[in-house]
Amino acid sequence: MLKLFYSPNACSLAAHIALTEAGAEFQAVRVDLKSGEQRGPAYLAINPKGRVPALVTPRGILTENPVILGWIATMYPDAHLKPAGDFFNFSEMQAFNMYLANTLHVTFAHLFRTERYADSDAARAEIKTKVPSSLAQQWLLVEDRLADGRPWVCGEQYTVADPYLYVFARWLERDGAGGSVGMPLTRAHRDRMQGRAAVRTVLAAEGIAPL
């Protein structure tokens, strides 16, 4: 059986939702990030990066959200969690997921994990102050993608890119992120996500509330 290591409301929420949407049999194992469990020897033996998610599969352990999400979409074809068509369409979805991982997630890290980027209190405060304007600018690409009326990231078909976007749409409402008032299409996407049974199931399992 698959085993997903996650922390509530962390970026691992995307993989948790995707596995549930896929109808996969898996065990969800909570990692307490606040207590530093991810830096303990037991978890580092699973993921030396000390982060979630990590997905234990029969072939080995996968890390990094775009990889895990792509694997789920590929391994559970009957769930139709990747765009219909050829490998280019899949790659285009993965390009969006990489933008979320390499740009939006990193900007959020400047808010939540400021110690990675500066030592002094003044420098950390300056970094945090910049986050809302950076997110607003970076999010223009997300809003533009949804501007043609599509319900999901890749069009009419729901894919693993949607729970990944949902993670960061939630994070917009965290203190210091600036909120989502200027992202109406993202807010509508978030509402559609929260109407899905799998999303409601995972939110309940992780003990977090819809927005």
Clarify whether residues 91 and 162 are in a common domain: yes
For residue 189, give the CATH number of its domain.
Answer: 1.20.1050.10
Vertex 38 angle, CA 33 and 43, to 5°: 145
Which tens digit of pLDDT belongs to each residue from 28-80? Answer: 999 999 999 999 999 999 999 999 999 999 999 999 999 999 999 999 999 99
Tell me how many helices (H) and strands (E) the chain has.
10, 4
What pLDDT band is residue 118 in, cutting at 50, 70 and 90? confident
Sign of CA dihedral 204, 164, 101, 150: negative
pLDDT given for residue 157 in this prediction:
97
Domain boundary at 29, 57, 79, which? 79
Residues 135 and 183 in one domain: yes
Would you give the distance in Å from CA 121 to the centre of its chain?
A: 29
Same domain flag for 54 and 75: yes
- Do 112 and 171 share a structural domain? yes
Q: What is the pLDDT of residue 75?
A: 98
CA distance 204 to 207: 5
Q: How many domains does the chain fold into?
A: 2
- Confidence (pTM): 0.96
Instruction: Clarify whether residues 54 and 96 are in a common domain.
Output: no
Task: List the strands of the sheet with 60-63, edge to edge.
Answer: 26-30, 2-6, 54-57, 60-63
Torsion of CA 196, 201, 206, 211, to 10 degrees: 30
* Residue 191 located in a structural domain: yes
Lowest-confidence region among 19-28, 119-128, 169-178: 119-128
Whether residues 62 and 93 fall in one domain: no
Mean pLDDT of the chain: 97
**Domain range enclosing 186:** 87-196
Q: Is residue 32 part of a domain?
A: yes
Residues 14, 17, 19: CA angle, nearest 5 degrees: 105
211 occurs within a structural domain: no
